Amino acid sequence: MKREIELEVNGDRYQRAVEPRMLLSDFIRHELRLTGTHVGCEHGVCGACTVLFDGEPVRSCVMLAVQADGHSVRTVESLAQGGQLNRLQRAFNECHGLQCGFCTPGFLMTLQPVVDEGKQLSDDEIRDAISGNICRCTGYQQIVEAVSQALAEPQEDERAGTA
Amino acid sequence: MKPPLFDYEAPSTVEDAARLLAEGGEDAKLLAGGQSLIPLLNLRFAAPSLLIDLNGVDGLGQIRAEDGQLRLGALVRHSTVAGDPLVADRHPLLSEAMGYVAHPQIRNRGTIGGTTAHADPAAEVPVVLLMSDARVVARSTRGRREIGVDDLFVSIFTTSLEPDEIISEVIIPDRAVEPGTAVGSSFQEFARRHGDYAIGGAAAIVHLGPDGVCRSARVGLLGAGMRPEESRAAAAVLESGTFSERAAREAAAVATTDISPLGNVHGDPDYRREVIREMTFRAVMTAADKAKARIA
Ligand SMILES: Cc1cc2nc3c(=O)[nH]c(=O)nc-3n(C[C@H](O)[C@H](O)[C@H](O)COP(=O)(O)OP(=O)(O)OC[C@H]3O[C@@H](n4cnc5c(N)ncnc54)[C@H](O)[C@@H]3O)c2cc1C
Ligand code: FES
Ligand code: FES
> Within this chain, do residues B90 and B167 fall inside the same structural domain, yes or no?
yes
Give the confidence band of A156 by pLDDT, cuts at 50, 70, 90: low
**A101 shares a domain with A40:** no
Q: What is the CATH number of the domain that holds A51?
A: 3.10.20.30
Classify residue A28: in a domain, yes or no.
yes
Q: Are residues A98 and A55 in the same domain?
A: no
Comparing C-alpha atoms, which of B279, B134, B276, B285 is closest to residue B208? Answer: B285
Which chain B residue is nearest to residue A1, measuring alpha carbons? B7
Cα–Cα nearest to B142, from B114, B123, B167, B165 = B165
Quick check: helix, strand or coil at residue B19?
A: helix
Last residue of a domain, one of B113, B146, B172: B172
pTM above 0.90, yes or no: yes
Chosen domain end from A78, A101, A116: A78
Query: Which string of DSSP letters, residue by residue, matches B236-260?
Result: HHHHTSB--HHHHHHHHHHHHHS--
Is residue A67 located within the same domain as residue A116?
no
| A94 lies in the same domain as A119 | yes
Identity of the residue in B7, B105, B193 whose CB atom sits nearest the CB atom of A20 = B7
Whether residue A163 lies inside any domain: the answer is no
Contact check, Cβ <8 Å, A59/B105: yes
Measured distance CA(B109)–CA(B32) in Å, rounded:
8
The range of the structural domain enclosing residue A36 comes to 3-78
- Are the beta carbons of B41 and B8 closer than 8 angstroms? no
Q: Which residues are CB-neighbours of A160 under 8 A, at least 6 positions away?
A: A81
Nearest CA in chain A to B47: A21
Q: With both helix axes pointing from N to C terminus, report the angle between A141-152 and A87-94 in degrees, rounded to the nearest 10.
A: 140
A66 touches chain B (CB under 8 A): yes
Between strands B143-148 and B153-155, the pairing is unpaired
Task: Tell me if A158 is assigned to some domain.
Answer: no
Element (H, E) at B133: none
- What mean pLDDT is predicted for residues B163-178? 95
- Verify that A40 and A60 share a domain, yes or no: yes
How many angstroms separate the alpha carbon of residue A23 from the centre of ligand 2?
11
What is the mean pLDDT of the segment spanning B196-209? 94
User: Is the CB of residue A25 less than 8 Å away from at least one CB of chain B?
Assistant: no
User: Can you give the CATH number for the domain in which A103 is found?
Assistant: 1.10.150.120
Claim to verify: residue B208 and residue B282 sit in the same structural domain: yes
What ipTM does the predicted assembly reach? 0.93
Calculate how far, in angstroms, residue A57's C-alpha sits from the geometric centre of ligand 2.
12
Domain presence at residue B208: yes
Residues in a beta bridge with B208: B182, B214
Residue A157 has pLDDT above 60, yes or no: no
* Type of residue at A148: S
Confidence of residue B15 (pLDDT cuts 50, 70, 90): very high
Q: Which domain holds residue B14?
A: 7-53
CB B108 within 8 A of CB B79: yes
Q: Confirm whether B45 is domain-assigned.
A: yes
Mean pLDDT of chain B: 96
By C-alpha distance, which of B5, B6, B36 is closest to B20? B6
Q: In the listed set A48, A78, A108, which residue is the last one of a domain according to the structure?
A: A78
Residue B177 in any domain: the answer is no
In a domain? residue A57: yes
Query: CA–CA separation, A100 vs B2, rounded Å?
Result: 26
**Counted domains in chain B:** 3
E strand or H helix that includes residue B156: none
Q: Count CA atoms closer than 13 A to B204's CA, side-chain side.
A: 33
Number of domains observed in the structure of chain A:
2
Residue ending a domain, choose from A50, A78, A106: A78
Please give the DSSP secondary-structure letter assigned to residue B261.
Answer: P
pLDDT in tens, B64-102: 999 999 999 999 999 999 999 999 999 999 999 999 999
**Do residues A105 and A38 touch, judged by C-beta distance below 8 A?**
yes
